[in-house]
Amino acid sequence: MDDGRDVPPRVSAVGPELPGDDEVLRALARRRDAGTRADGHRIALVVGSGGMRGAYSGGMAHALDDAGLGPWFDVVYGCSAGAYIGAALILGHGRGSAHIFFEDMASRAFIDPRRLGRRQPMVSLDHLIDHVLVESKPLAWELVMASPVPLLVVATAADDLTGHVLEPGTVEEWKLAMRATASIPLLAGRPVELHGRRWIDGTVAEPLPVLRALRDGSSHVLALLNRTVPQLRRADPGAGPARWARALDRLAPGLGTIAQESRRLGPVLALLDDAGHPSRAGAHLLAVAPEMGIIRGLTTDVERVERAARLGYAAMTAAIERAAPASRAG
């Protein structure tokens, strides 16, 4: 991708599209070329999650970094895997945001179903936070805290399943926040306590916090998706929670909501798939999706996860190239 071993994937990024506005990427390119954010805009990046599906948005973040666009956002929103990708990008580690999935996370050390039999979480956040982010892909927490581009980590309150932006103030609180936004009862650990409340995976309440970015006053929003457009469009926003999902929620709050994927993604699709949606009025919104869906949230096949990262890289590269002529002309 960005060195001799990582060439861009030879795949087409052309496919069914969501109604979007390339002005988002053009505005970023103008900032890059001028070397300043002083344009009166508020440009937000929203990073999709979904476990190992984060490889797609990791590849997109890698492409943004390679194009020199990564440093020019005003704010980054992310939950679960999206928060980790966002942290890497604001530190200039776009390559690592993609490679961490197939070099470090596609392994039994991170995901091992056998642990359930020992009453342990299938997904080891301990391995990610205490090993990978210390040794393999070190994360400088102090630099995340001091970044001029804030990372807003979204988590779900365990008591009422509403989404909130966490406000960590120390390195230890940042580690707790990053654990909280990815904690899934029975699958990735118990709820995390921070500032007097218990938190679970942010995707329960907000699988893609685009609406939050718009409500916060963003004039431009770039959303990195981890599902193809056809996969998104299969979601039914009108479907109520299934009986089995309610039973899972009684077993572990939020688990049934996570499992019933279509219900979580339906409201997101309603916003992304309607150029006339009231929440988009006056704002520029662009969502980039992979052309093909080849992995799931718990996929550990290294080759497939690496290919997913390359598909993400290809999708973002195609979007940047599509916007480039107008950017140069302006």
pTM: 0.89
pLDDT of residue 201: 92
Question: Does pLDDT of 329 surpass 50?
Answer: no
Q: Say whether 286 sits in a helix, a strand or coil.
A: strand
Question: Does pLDDT of 104 surpass 80?
Answer: yes
pLDDT of residue 265: 75
Q: Say whether 47 sits in a helix, a strand or coil.
A: strand
Residue type, 49: S
CA atoms within 13 A on the CB side of 115: 15
Question: Does pLDDT of 257 surpass 80?
Answer: no
Contacts of 294 (CB under 8 A, 6+ apart): 304, 307, 308, 311
pLDDT of residue 232: 83
Nearest to 94 by CA among 284, 286, 312: 312
Number of other CB atoms surrounding residue 163 within 10 Å: 18
Average pLDDT, the chain: 88
In which band, very low, low, confident or very high, does the pLDDT at 237 lie, cut at 50, 70 and 90? Answer: very low
Number of other CB atoms surrounding residue 266 within 10 Å: 15
In which band, very low, low, confident or very high, does the pLDDT at 103 lie, cut at 50, 70 and 90? Answer: very high
Mean pLDDT of 260-287: 85
Question: Does pLDDT of 69 surpass 50?
Answer: yes
Number of H helices, E strands in the chain: 13, 8
Q: Say whether 288 sits in a helix, a strand or coil.
A: strand
